[in-house]
Amino acid sequence: MKWYYYILLIVAVACKGKVTITEDEIGYEVFYVHDSYKPFSGKCIVVFRNTRLVKEQFTYRNGVLHGEALAWYKNGKMRRRGYYSKGEISGNWEFWDENGHRTIEAHNKEDGRLISSGKK
């Protein structure tokens, strides 16, 4: 692979189709699992540093974000929920405050362009 691809090497236990990493280990390009030359496909769970509390959950297909993306606050309340399509923000996204109140809803085209957004 060429150097301009950011290859995320994970020092984590990899299960079949699922990995868990810390928030410091997540990257924004093609996603690889430690000791693998094949881009990752499956669920990636990101935990807050120094805890095992789940911060985010992403779905990857061939190393690219594709599918549902979820994020939580440290108190366990939902922070955001949305979807990616081939690495681009897609469809409906919802955002909540730390008290669990939905604050914003956004609608995007499959190529990531914003169609509409508004406060709830």
| E strand map for the chain | 14-15, 18-22, 42-47, 54-61, 64-65, 67-72, 78-85, 88-96, 102-108, 114-119
CATH topology of domain 15-119: 2.20.110
φ, ψ of residue 47 in degrees (nearest 5): -105, 155
Q: Where are the domains of the chain?
A: 15-119
pLDDT in tens, 71-108: 999 999 999 999 999 988 888 999 999 999 999 898 88
Query: Which contacts of 28-36 are long-range, i.e. CB under 8 A and separated by 24 or more positions?
Result: 29/5, 30/5, 30/6, 30/63, 30/64, 31/60, 31/63, 31/64, 32/7, 32/8, 32/63, 34/9, 34/10
Write out pLDDT tens, residues 38-81.
888 889 888 898 888 999 999 989 888 999 999 999 999 999 99
Residues 83 and 66: beta-carbon distance below 8 Å: no
| Lookup: tokens for 1 | 């692979």
